[in-house]
Chains A and B, each alone.
Chain A
Amino acid sequence: MKKNNEDSIKAKSTVVDFLVKCEEITIFFTGVFIASTIFIQVVLRYIFSAPLFGLEEIALLVVSWFYFIGAAYSIHSESYIKADILSLIVKSPRIRKRFNIASLILATVASLLLFFYGVEYALWSSRAHVVTPHFLMSSNFGFTALVVGSLLMSLNFALLVQREIKREI
């Protein structure tokens, strides 16, 4: 029984590590892609006088991945923007822990709602064949970042809830 428990914890940590690595890789490559794409466009425009039509459109589709996966990663690294004035006032660690758990649960609910409505919009968008103006690519490529990002945000918040519950005072 104990071995089974240990195995499941190990498997969970492997899955989480894998997801975090995927988030890092996505952030790095999309970040490099955006910087180089815009730079290339400037070079093509001023040095070769031949700008690539619609290159900005691709950069805009890719940047959504940088934004939303970055947001999910900020939750994993707990560097999201907070204004928790209460933690400065409340001195009792026990009460602070309860507030933390409640806050993280509310944030999990909000990110799950985003995921739910995001999926609904993505499905509608696929049925309606919404495409980008120049390359006629499915605009869902950019919107999928919101869906994947919100799922990862929910997961990362849920992990923070679990960690906060287990945290000893």
Chain B
Amino acid sequence: MTNLILVIIGAIGVMIMGVPVAFAFALAGFILCGIYGIGITGAISTSFNRLNMYSLMALPLFIILGTLMDKGGLARRLVNLVNALIGRRKGGLGVVLIITNTVFGAICGVATSALAAIGGMLIPEMEKKGYPRGYSTGLAVSSSVLSLLIPPSTSMIIFGVAGRVSIPLLFVATIVPGLILTVLLCIINSIMIKQIPTIQILPKVSNSEKRREILQASKEAMFILFMPILILVGIYGGIFTPTEAASIAVIYVCIIGFFVYKDLTFKILWNSTIKAGTLTGSIVIVFFFFFVLSRVLVLEHAPDLMLNFLFKISNNHYVLLFLLNIILLITGMLMDDCSALILAAIIYLPAAEALGIDPIQFGAICGVNLGMGLITPPVAPLLYMGGIVGGNLELKEYYRPALYSILFAYIPVTILTTYIPAISLTLPKLVMHMYK
């Protein structure tokens, strides 16, 4: 056991030093296989076979969809529609940013694509209307996580594959937490904009002109709005699996992008596929090596070790749930969401189940908690990406809205999801009831 702990500490050490996460897991896995006499060749072939899952194929397809939405100009039409609906109020553009991220989440579920596409489009637009660039960047960063909570969600695909939990049920488990977050972010926006006097209110237009504007934007976004319906009705109507829904959505986006909107070119398709391949490859290699490592961890009863550690601190159910969240929070702060989700699904999930938490609820807790990790330093990929999307801003210029959203939106929603199981379990139960 001492060897195991030492090697894990070593792996975390080299990870912090800069060794790519996947390869730090690989080194730890290979060393532990050597120490405990487990055949490395066997561990590699088992891990490879675990990757050969039909459900995992949804991941690259949803990532391709996200990059196509971003690069193919489809997100622009979505922004125009939400803007026509609610953009004319004071602070309306902030709400447009949040709501568009939610709708974007219902289409593809890739936070980086949401931030690049919607943030990249709305931040300059908001600046023209008097929003400080730092404020809109911080808001874009905080709300881009919503894409990971509104189904289909790449996070839940990763958690479902790693923890062998139903992906369609995980998808619906994060809907309510995602919607509560949307409302809380809108409230934070409405409070914060009161302190920004530079924000302009767009001139009022007549009802008929507004109707015309909405009609025009709806007509343009009609084909995109059909996508979430296609995906969700397809999955929950029992027509497609999530993987099939993702492939249909990719082909659908290609058809409307090439032949209806005519914004998509072969070059965009090429670049989007390469970008998606790069992103998928970097996630799947973490999966692969963590599967190698987890073989040793499971054989050496690492989940039991963690459970014993938790029970040594307290026997109170509520305290244990709190501790589990703290561990998740620290994991999310030190790792990217993909690695943290794989770790949570393989190592923390058995401990959570032993504490009486439903795996679906734990998936939702991980979704919110580790989503928050994406904007919580030191390892906060979305937070740092926000600086680039916002136009090479320094962190001090845009951290404030992100910090407020962590304190007054993400932490409360994590607590609610943890202590009120109905928030994450009502919809999955309804879905299961439909198929009884």
User: How far in angstroms is the closest Cβ of chain B from A48?
Assistant: 15
Known: A28-B270, A35-B250, A39-B251. A81 touches B57 (CB 8 A): no
Do B20 and A82 touch (CB < 8 A)? yes
Do B20 and A107 touch (CB < 8 A)? yes
Do A79 and B282 touch (CB < 8 A)? yes
User: How far in angstroms is the closest Cβ of chain A from B145?
Assistant: 17
Do A107 and B247 touch (CB < 8 A)? no
Do A81 and B14 touch (CB < 8 A)? no
Do A83 and B61 touch (CB < 8 A)? no
Do B20 and A80 touch (CB < 8 A)? yes
A100 within 8 A of B: yes
User: How far in angstroms is the closest Cβ of chain A from B404?
Assistant: 23
User: How far in angstroms is the closest Cβ of chain A from B350?
Assistant: 24
A151 within 8 A of B: no
Chain A residue contacts of B20, Cβ below 8 A: 75, 80-82, 103, 107
Chain A residue contacts of B358, Cβ below 8 A: none
| Bound form: Cα–Cα A105–B16 in Å | 15
Do B30 and A110 touch (CB < 8 A)? yes
Chain A residue contacts of B52, Cβ below 8 A: 60, 64, 142
Do B57 and A59 touch (CB < 8 A)? yes
Q: Which of B21, B54, B239, B283 contacts A83 (CB 8 A)?
A: B21
Known: A27-B273, A110-B26. A83 touches B282 (CB 8 A): no
Do A111 and B23 touch (CB < 8 A)? yes
Q: Which of A71, A102, A110, A143 contacts B281 (CB 8 A)?
A: A71
| Bound form: Cα–Cα A72–B274 in Å | 12
Interface residues of A in 89-132 (CB under 8 A from B): 99-100, 102-103, 106-107, 109-111, 113-114, 117-118, 120-121, 124-125
B388 within 8 A of A: no
B170 within 8 A of A: no
Known: A35-B247, A60-B57, A63-B57. A124 touches B41 (CB 8 A): yes
Q: Which of A46, A69, A75, A99 contacts B17 (CB 8 A)?
A: A99
**When each residue 3-25 of chain B gets 1 if its CB lies under 8 Å from chain A and 0 otherwise, what string results?**
00000000000111111111100
A130 (CB) vs chain B CBs: closest residue: B45
| Bound form: Cα–Cα A120–B43 in Å | 12
Chain A residue contacts of B82, Cβ below 8 A: none
Q: Which of B26, B57, B281, B286 contacts A38 (CB 8 A)?
A: B57
B285 within 8 A of A: yes
Do A121 and B243 touch (CB < 8 A)? no
User: How far in angstroms is the closest Cβ of chain A from B58?
Assistant: 10
Interface residue count for A (Cβ, 8 Å)?
62
| Bound form: Cα–Cα A83–B15 in Å | 6
B236 within 8 A of A: no
Do B277 and A27 touch (CB < 8 A)? yes
**When each residue 269-306 of chain B gets 1 if its CB lies under 8 Å from chain A and 0 otherwise, what string results?**
01001101111111111100100000000000000000
A14 within 8 A of B: no
Chain A residue contacts of B282, Cβ below 8 A: 70-71, 74, 79-81
Do B284 and A110 touch (CB < 8 A)? no
B336 within 8 A of A: yes
| Bound form: Cα–Cα A161–B392 in Å | 28
Q: Which of A81, A85, A102 contacts B334 (CB 8 A)?
A: A85
| Bound form: Cα–Cα A98–B243 in Å | 43
Q: Which of B22, B41, B247, B280 contacts A42 (CB 8 A)?
A: B247
Q: Which of A114, A118, A146 has the most CB of B within 10 A?
A: A114
| Bound form: Cα–Cα A73–B282 in Å | 9
A17 within 8 A of B: no
**When each residue 343-378 of chain B gets 1 if its CB lies under 8 Å from chain A and 0 otherwise, what string results?**
000000000000000000000000000000000001
Chain A residue contacts of B213, Cβ below 8 A: none
Interface residues of B in 233-283 (CB under 8 A from A): 239-240, 243-244, 247-248, 250-251, 270, 273-274, 276-283
User: How far in angstroms is the closest Cβ of chain B from A124?
Assistant: 7
| Bound form: Cα–Cα A41–B338 in Å | 30
| Bound form: Cα–Cα A87–B18 in Å | 8
User: How far in angstroms is the closest Cβ of chain A from B264?
Assistant: 14
B321 within 8 A of A: no
Do A66 and B48 touch (CB < 8 A)? no
| Bound form: Cα–Cα A59–B55 in Å | 12
A56 (CB) vs chain B CBs: closest residue: B54
| Bound form: Cα–Cα A100–B20 in Å | 10
| Bound form: Cα–Cα A166–B379 in Å | 28
Chain A residue contacts of B284, Cβ below 8 A: 67-68, 70-71
Do A79 and B51 touch (CB < 8 A)? no
Chain A residue contacts of B30, Cβ below 8 A: 110, 113
Interface residues in chain B, defined as those with a beta carbon under 8 Å from any beta carbon in chain A: 14-23, 26-27, 30, 40-41, 44-45, 48, 51-52, 54, 57, 60-61, 64, 239-240, 243-244, 247-248, 250-251, 270, 273-274, 276-286, 289, 334-336, 338-339, 378-379
Interface residues in chain A, defined as those with a beta carbon under 8 Å from any beta carbon in chain B: 24, 27-28, 30-32, 34-39, 41-42, 46, 56, 59-60, 63-64, 66-75, 77, 79-88, 99-100, 102-103, 106-107, 109-111, 113-114, 117-118, 120-121, 124-125, 142-143, 146, 153
19 A–B contact pairs at CB < 8 A? A24-B270, A31-B273, A31-B277, A34-B247, A38-B244, A42-B240, A42-B247, A63-B60, A70-B278, A73-B277, A79-B278, A80-B285, A81-B20, A81-B21, A85-B379, A103-B18, A106-B27, A110-B27, A118-B44
6 more A-B residue pairs beyond the given contacts A42-B247, A73-B274, with a C-beta to C-beta distance below 8 A: A28-B270, A70-B277, A73-B278, A85-B16, A113-B30, A146-B44
